[in-house]
Amino acid sequence: MSAVPAHGTPRTRYTSVGRGQAAWRMIGSSIEILALTVTNAARPPEHVAFDDDSCHDLCWARERFGKFADLWDAIRSEYWQLLFHSDASVT
Per residue in 50-86, pLDDT tens? 876 677 899 999 999 999 999 999 999 999 998 887 5
At 16-34, the pLDDT tens digits run 999 999 999 988 888 999 9
pTM of the model: 0.78
* CA quadruple 18, 52, 44, 59: dihedral sign: positive
**How many Å apart are CA 22 and CA 47, to the nearest integer?**
10
Distance from the first to the final alpha carbon of the chain: 10
